[in-house]
């Protein structure tokens, strides 16, 4: 299999086969992100995709879940995704789920019928970069959608039978804003009902717009204590049933995981234990994160 550029996949997809169908990210304008700055967005030719599937079939005896690489593979037209799904079914008839990153704009570009057709072909569990439930934050980081747009488009996904994973970013609202961001984000999650909540922590990388804002004093990073308190407030305010909370991203100072609401208090207690272990003095600063 051939991969161009750095290959990224969500931690829950560690055991999934990664099939590259795009290079880079079609949006590539989020002010915090440096993941795809070294490549130009393009689509992988269908003959290369099929060649990679043929090679993979010779390696893997069984593959029930396939993750399409890279940054927002759901940007591909519905007919292209349908063609890819058909080839996957040919080489891996046992495959039950085809998943990938998706943006709100990608969902908006597809009709209700196209979404329903893609679900029937096995496309499900889309990873959507929600990041925050606060419009001011989304505008600041240039996500390319508003909360109302996200609420509407995720509702369309739900009606088509497509589950989504909400990708969130602790600390993205900056110093002093974590608790408000947590409450607004929890409210948004309660309205849009993701099948899984995946939580990471903001890392500010040199070369990004957000790094320049930090250097100029325009953006002030939240302390680690603020970020952990934000996560606790987020967990407290989520009112969903039987939803996995996956807060074990490498950027997180304290890693917690569980099912809500069953494990709500256990996860909050684990964060409190982490705070005690680090000590409040250490957590008054911001940890430097060098990678995702």
> Which tens digit of pLDDT belongs to each residue from 110-156?
999 999 999 999 999 999 999 999 999 999 999 999 999 999 999 99
Phi, psi of 155 (to 5 degrees): -65, -40
How many domains, the chain?
Answer: 2
**Residue 236's domain spans which residues?**
128-287
164 and 22 in a single domain? The answer is no
Counting residues of the chain whose pLDDT is more than 90, the rounded percentage is 85
Within a domain: 141: yes
**What does the DSSP 8-state code read for residue 44?**
P
Q: Are residues 45 and 27 in the same domain?
A: yes
Q: Is 88 exposed, middle or buried (0-12, 13-18, 19+ CB in 10 A)?
A: buried
Indicate the pTM of the whole model. 0.94
Same domain, 151 and 12: no
Query: Are 137 and 262 found together in one domain?
Result: yes
Residues 133 and 270 in one domain: yes
136 and 106 within one domain:
no
- Which of these, 202, 195, 173, lies nearest to 185 by C-alpha position? 173
Rg (Cα) of the chain, in Å, rounded? 19
Same domain, 115 and 195: no
Q: How many CA atoms lie within 13 A of 261 on its CB side?
A: 7
Q: Identify the CA nearest to 251 among candidates 148, 168, 156, 186.
A: 168
Same-domain status, 207 and 96: no
Q: Dihedral of the CA atoms 279, 282, 286, 291 (nearest 10)?
A: -80
User: Are 256 and 247 within 8 A, CB to CB?
Assistant: yes
Q: Whole-angstrom Cα distance, residue 32 to residue 208?
A: 6
Question: Please, are residues 72 and 29 in contact by the beta-carbon 8 Å criterion?
Answer: no
Q: Are 146 and 116 part of one and the same domain?
A: no
102 lies in the same domain as 210: no
pLDDT in tens, 22-68: 999 989 889 998 888 888 899 999 999 999 999 999 999 999 999 99
User: Which of 124, 141, 173 is the last residue before a domain boundary?
Assistant: 124
């Amino acid at each position: 299999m051939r991969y161009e550029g750095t290959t990224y996949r969500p931690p829950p997809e560690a055991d999934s086969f990664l099939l590259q169908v795009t290079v880079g990210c079609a949006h590539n304008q989020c002010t915090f992100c440096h993941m795809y700055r070294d490549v130009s967005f393009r689509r992988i030719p269908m003959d290369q995709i099929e060649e990679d599937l043929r090679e993979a079939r010779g390696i893997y005896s069984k593959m029930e879940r396939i993750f399409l690489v890279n940054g927002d593979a759901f940007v591909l037209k519905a007919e292209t995704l349908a063609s890819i799904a058909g080839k996957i079914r040919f080489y891996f008839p046992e495959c039950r789920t085809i998943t990938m990153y998706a943006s709100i704009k990608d969902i908006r570009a597809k009709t209700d019928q196209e979404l329903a057709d893609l679900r029937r072909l096995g496309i499900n569990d889309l990873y959507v970069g929600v990041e925050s439930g606060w419009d001011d934050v989304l505008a600041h980081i240039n996500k390319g959608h508003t909360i109302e747009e996200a609420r509407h488009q995720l509702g369309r996904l739900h009606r088509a039978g497509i589950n989504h994973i909400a990708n969130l970013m602790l600390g993205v609202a900056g110093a002093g804003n974590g608790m408000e961001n947590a409450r607004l984000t929890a409210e948004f999650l309660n309205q849009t009902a993701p099948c899984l909540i995946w939580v990471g922590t903001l890392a500010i990388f040199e070369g990004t717009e957000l790094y320049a804002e930090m250097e100029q004093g325009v953006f002030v990073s939240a302390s680690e204590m603020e970020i952990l308190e934000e996560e606790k407030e987020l967990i407290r305010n989520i009112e969903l049933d039987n939803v996995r909370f996956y807060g074990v991203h490498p950027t997180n100072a304290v890693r917690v995981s569980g099912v809500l609401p069953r494990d709500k208090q256990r996860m909050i207690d684990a964060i409190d234990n982490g705070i005690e272990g680090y000590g409040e003095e250490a957590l008054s600063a911001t940890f430097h994160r060098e990678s995702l």
